[in-house]
Amino acid sequence: MSSTLLEQKQTPKPRIITTELRLTDKVFRGVVTGGGLISLTLLGLIGFFLVYNGFEAMRSAGMAFLTGFEWVDAVPENNQPAAYGIGAMLYGTVVTGILAMIIGVPIAVGTALFLSYYAPAWLKKPMVVVVDVMAAIPSIVYGLWGYFVLMPHAEYWAKLIHKYFGFIPFFDMPAPVFTRSPFIASLVLAIMITPIITAIAREVFAQTPLERIQAAYALGATKWSMIKAVVFPYGRGGVVGGAMLGLGRALGETVAVYTVLNLVYDIRIEVLLSAGGNVASMIVNKFGEADFVELQALMAAGFVLFLVTLIVNFIANYIINKTARE
């Protein structure tokens, strides 16, 4: 009895206090760090393997790979060497991307303003869901819809534009073929990128300080004056970043563009004409019957696309992060 009491009175040895992590924590941090770095490694691997497989094509073509218009396989019988250049496709990709931005950004910003400041409460929630659903629709759906539903209408619009604005070189028509033009591809892309830009613009607009909005109203500003004086200065960076994020998506879109764009290896400024280019669509188009040499060229084309979209996304995220922090 007394011995147990004695034992209880003995003070336990003080625990050694140390900042060193326990073994379980070391393992935990190791595993999580490893998992976190997989994403980073993956991005590096994508770049590495595309360069590794496409290097030969880029080396043999040199700068002509970026500027050349031709994509022809070697014909040994005629002593004709292979020539792979993605200049026209790259140009077409940029043209459809920028056109999509010109159409999509004003609509997206207008919608974001509508959702933030104009919509009645009962309409706001369903509209937000609508925008989210639009962002979740797979591109093949837009491709099918664009080809069968939008194209007949868009063809008619293109004819009208040509009829009344044909004197502008962009809307000129050397041949009366209006289907599968960069214009129609841009329309489909604009519909696809609008929800992305809307979502980001809305997020940025929501961060506008309320007291400034109320101050503007208290000074007698109309809604538009308030938006011009308070919301736009605050949200400009976010809108620009969101637009660039949309551009990145538009540049890399494959399936939806493939169905509504006629690939022609030529640089043309007439956007209503049925002749355009798109790197991603070209990869799908040529992939099926590509031999080994052509496959290398396609890998190189994929690397260029990867690099361009990555840079656009870097800039976009940098701008958005900077705006969000301020």
Instruction: Please give the residues from 243 up to 302 whose contact with another protein meets the rule CB under 8 A.
Output: 245, 248-249, 251-255, 259, 280, 283-284, 287, 295, 298-299, 302
Dihedral angle over CA of 241, 246, 251, 253, nearest 10 = 150
**Shortest approach of another protein to residue 10 CB, angstroms?**
22
With a CB cutoff of 8 Å and minimum separation 6, the contacts of 229 are 216, 221
Among residues 66, 83, 127, 293, which is the contact residue for another protein, using CB under 8 A? Answer: 127
- Which of the residues 86 through 125 are near another protein (CB under 8 A)? 106-111, 113-115, 118-119
> Toward another protein, which CB reaches closer, 32 or 269?
32
Task: Report 62-91 residues binding another protein (CB under 8 A).
Answer: none
User: What's the CA gap between 306 and 165, in Å, rounded?
Assistant: 36
In the complex, minimum distance from the CB of residue 56 to another protein, in angstroms, rounded to a whole number = 12
| Binder among 145, 217, 232, 234 for another protein (CB under 8 A) | 145
Residues 30-59 that bind another protein (CB under 8 A): 31-40, 42-43, 45-46, 49-50, 52-53
Q: How far apart are CA 230 and CA 251, in angstroms?
A: 32
Q: Based on CB atoms, which residue is closest to another protein, 139 or 268?
A: 139
Interface pick for another protein out of 152, 209, 222, 266 (rule CB under 8 A): 222
Whole-number minimum distance, CB 257 to another protein, in Å?
10
Query: 184 by DSSP, 3-state: which?
Result: helix
Name the segment binding another protein (CB under 8 A); options: 28-36, 56-64, 168-176, 268-276. Answer: 28-36
Q: Which residues are 75's β-sheet partners?
A: 80
Binding another protein by CB under 8 A: which of 56, 172, 306, 324?
A: 306
C-alpha distances (whole Å) from 260 to each of 143, 172, 180, 186 are 7, 20, 5, 9
Q: Quick one: 181 or 259, whose CB is closer to another protein?
A: 259
74: three-class secondary structure by DSSP? coil
Element (H, E) at 307: helix 292-325
Q: Toward another protein, which CB reaches closer, 113 or 268? A: 113
Which of 50/184 has CB closer to another protein? 50
Size of the site for another protein (CB under 8 A): 96
Is residue 50 a contact partner of residue 293, using CB atoms and an 8 Å limit?
no
* Residue 229 interacting with another protein (CB under 8 A): no
**Residue 246: both structure tokens together:** 């949309």
Contact 245, 169 (CB under 8 A): no
Of 135, 103, 102, 89, the closest CA to residue 258 belongs to: 89
Q: How many CB atoms lie within 10 A of CB 225?
A: 13
Minimum CB separation of residue 160 from another protein in Å reads 8
Site for another protein in 189-208 (CB under 8 A): 191, 194-195, 198
Eight-state DSSP code of residue 277: -
Token pair for residue 271? Answer: 């956007």
